[in-house]
Amino acid sequence: MSFNALSDAALDQLFRQARTVHAFKPEAVSDATLRQLYELFKWGPTAFNGQPGRYVFVKSAEAKAKLMPALSPGNVPQVESAAATVIVAYDTRFPEHLPTQFPGYDAKAVFDANPAIVEPAAFRNSSLQGAYLILAA
């Protein structure tokens, strides 16, 4: 198997020069742009292609105000100034979709037989999907 390496410019943008920012330009982000972002990262690889991540895109001042009590105090200024904030959550019912998401074998049975692994798998894989979202953005 061969692969095509990303260019140095792409690797720089994704990894070598990427950093968390604490200030944002005062520019709106359209719903079309957010949909385009979602379409780009939504099928990033996860265990069994389970895709347990669920997303809430928060844009309005009213929605941000509802989010504020859940934030660490140091994150309040960033959320207030960001054009959009994304809540990354997970769905513990993701195994229900495995027969179509991962038709190679009955992966749903793995989770049905051991319900204790569902939540850790959902958390781990939705966190991975959150990272894909960051890279896509």
**Mean pLDDT rounded to a whole number for the chain:** 95
Task: List beta partners, residue 86.
Answer: 57
Instruction: Report pLDDT digits (tens) over 83-111.
Output: 999 999 999 999 999 999 999 999 999 99
Q: What is the mean pLDDT of residues 51-78?
A: 96
Report DSSP letters for 21-78, one per residue: -S---S----HHHHHHHHHHHTT---GGG---EEEEEE-SHHHHHHHGGGS-GGGHHH
pTM: 0.90
Instruction: Report pLDDT digits (tens) over 73-88.
Output: 999 999 999 999 999 9
